[in-house]
Amino acid sequence: MATSSSGSIAATTVNGTTRMTGLSSGLDVDSLVKQSVAAETTKVNKLKQQKQKAEWIQESYRDITDDIQAFADKYFSVSSTSSIMNRQTFQAFAVSSSSTAVSADYTGDAVAGTHTVTVTQLATAAAKSTTGKLSKDITGTTAAASINYAALANTSFKMTIDGASYTVKLDSTVTDATKLQAAIDSAVGSNKVTVDTSSGYLKISAATNSGVQKITVSDPASSSSSPVTSSLSILGLTNKQSNRISTQSTLATLATSVNGGFSFDSHDQVELTINGTNFSFDKDTTLAEMISEVNNSTTAGVTMKYDEISDKLIMTAAKTGAGTTLTVSETGSTFLSAALGTDTAGQDAKLTVDNVNFTRSSNTVTISGIIYTLNKETPAGTPATINVAQDADTIYKNISNFVDDYNALINTINTKLAEEYDDDYPPLTDDQKKDMSDDEIKNWEKKAKVGLLASDSTLSSFVGNMREVLSEAISGVSLSGIGIEPGDRKYKEKGKLYIDEDKLKSAIKNNPEGVLNLFTKQSTDFPGTNMRKLTASQRTTRYKQEGIAYRLYDILQDNISTLGDSHGNKGLLLEKAGIKNDTTDTDNALSDQIKDLKTRIEKEEKHLDSEEDRLYKKYTQLEKYINKMNNQLSQISAITSQ
């Protein structure tokens, strides 16, 4: 806005339009215009207040919808561990075993009882493994008869045995392999390592029954100022030579360092076919990379590993049990015969449960709702005893948690329904906010949002329908009959539930099937959770055949489902106010109302601007005319006074 003045006229430019509001006429033009458009301004403000109120109502609906959705996700999703639609929620058991040979758990089909289990054979997987040891012993390349023992005087080498390091010191007394054995025994202890030259070359290996696994020989530390004579080279050995392969070694290295060695095909590759899946490995592929590629295959169905303790490469089928589960072939190369030459067939598990024999391909066996995990064979004549006892405390807790959360939900909704709307606190206009502090605005709007959902018909029906479901009996069993009393009967608390702990625990123990049926019974004609497309007649049939959980589920879906019903309509609350991350976020009744109000506001504001411009133009012309007349009078007065 730009303002300039000339004489008794003030010129103001607003949105490109020049308005003259000087004192020529003696009129307060701004006030006159404001008064003239007051009705139009009031109309715009009322529309803005209606829009703000609609937005607040939508926000309130969505808050409650979020609460209902959280409740539904926790107690009415088949994947939730808290779901009251699942039989397991009402069939908790404490399961114990008298033997470590067998452990047990339960499914939703379990019943309390005691079972005896004898395991005579575990299921195993088919496997291929190294015949004997995969790695060569530490063997020299210098003929034993040609070793210059005299050159070993005052030298040493390091020997690492299963992670422990030792220094073997040599002197002039070491003149043959026997004396070398004595020097090693002195350093690492007797009967741990054997020195042998019967093959014509020096060989160092673990002594029989010594328990020693991995042996590595290496040169002692050396520096340019203190050079060390390599005794290993004199003995025909190499630095860091070991009787165990490294998985970081390439296949080219392994081809000569494993027992017997192996060759590559004409393409210098090892090509394997494992359970129908083809693999190709180059010479520079490490054993670790080969193992990783095989194990990461989604089709080979095997696990491959190198066991350093046993010094074997092992390939095991993913599935246990007898039958053909592992087939491995090779074309051109000889890796299989060198590294995986021994076949072990898989076998089935054999067990007896309550004097009935079973053969299974897995060590996890489910029989009559009990999941048996077979860990080892049971001792002869000593079967495992599995006790399955009802866990009434856990079932009680599951029900109690549901009741608590149900009470919290309906309390939230009932509080909103019971609030009274105060007409003295409508949404504030922009002009009103200009004269208020931030805290004053916040406190005002807090009061203005009270009662927006008072006596709302959709929410009232939702709560009423749930209360009706919870008051009805299922096959002669009701909530009140098992110790869960609706509050509106005893305390007039609008559907709040109260639990008689002793009565409910008694029902759980003495009538477990009745409690289970009361909650989880499904319709025989229209079972499951797919109910949105059912006709009214089908819904009636489904309702009559259901237990509490599925009846409540249906009510919840009627209000918050993102799936369309037979008419294409989503849940009532979503159709009314929408929800984020769904098409109803912008496609709902309140959003339509807000959009309509926004359009009307824009139209009225445009009309208001036009009316203000018209009036200012009118008064500008008046100011110009009066100013002109004043100038003429001044000129006449000046002439007559001469």
| Residue 136 belongs to some domain of the structure | no
**Could you tell me if 289 and 380 lie in one domain?**
no
> Of 183, 206, 235, which closes a domain?
235
| Residue 36 belongs to some domain of the structure | no
* Structure-model confidence comparison of residues 225 and 619, the more confident one: 619
Q: Indicate the pLDDT class of residue 362, thresholds 50, 70 and 90.
A: very high
Average pLDDT estimate for 297-323:
96
**Could you tell me if 272 and 300 lie in one domain?**
yes
**Could you tell me if 286 and 379 lie in one domain?**
no
| Residue 43 belongs to some domain of the structure | no
Read off the pLDDT of residues 164-186 as tens digits, 9 standing for 90 and up: 999 999 999 999 999 999 999 99
pLDDT (0 to 100) of residue 8: 47
Whether the CB-CB separation of 203 and 137 falls below 8 Å is answered with: yes
| pLDDT exceeds 70 at position 489 | no
Looking at the structure of the chain, the number of domains it has is 5
**Could you tell me if 66 and 23 lie in one domain?**
no
**Could you tell me if 383 and 484 lie in one domain?**
no
Say whether 72 sits in a helix, a strand or coil.
helix
| Residue 603 belongs to some domain of the structure | no
| Residue 598 belongs to some domain of the structure | no
pLDDT (0 to 100) of residue 292: 97
Q: Indicate the pLDDT class of residue 223, thresholds 50, 70 and 90.
A: low
| Residue 240 belongs to some domain of the structure | no
| Residue 273 belongs to some domain of the structure | yes
DSSP letters of 467-488? HHHHHS-BTTB-TGGGTEEEHH
Beta strands 497-499 and 155-161: pairing type?
unpaired
Lowest pLDDT segment from 202-216, 273-287, 622-636: 622-636
Average pLDDT estimate for 40-68:
92
| Most distant CA pair in the chain, distance | 151
**Could you tell me if 415 and 468 lie in one domain?**
yes
pLDDT (0 to 100) of residue 514: 95
Give the span between the Cα atoms of 171 and 189, in whole angstroms.
18
> Of 235, 257, 273, which closes a domain?
235
Across the chain, mean pLDDT equals: 90
HEC profile for 566-635?
CCCCCCHHHHHHCCCCCHHHCCCHHHHHHHHHHHHHHHHHHHHHHHHHHHHHHHHHHHHHHHHHHHHHHH
| Residue 243 belongs to some domain of the structure | no
> Of 193, 211, 235, which closes a domain?
235
pLDDT (0 to 100) of residue 612: 67
**Could you tell me if 529 and 406 lie in one domain?**
yes
**Could you tell me if 476 and 568 lie in one domain?**
yes
**Could you tell me if 338 and 355 lie in one domain?**
no
Q: Which domain holds residue 333?
A: 126-130+249-344
pLDDT (0 to 100) of residue 591: 96
**Could you tell me if 404 and 510 lie in one domain?**
yes
Read off the pLDDT of residues 414-465 as tens digits, 9 standing for 90 and up: 999 999 999 999 999 998 999 999 999 999 999 999 999 999 999 999 999 9
**Could you tell me if 426 and 546 lie in one domain?**
yes
First to last CA, the chain: 44
**Could you tell me if 471 and 543 lie in one domain?**
yes
Give the span between the Cα atoms of 583 and 587, in whole angstroms.
6
Q: Indicate the pLDDT class of residue 487, thresholds 50, 70 and 90.
A: low
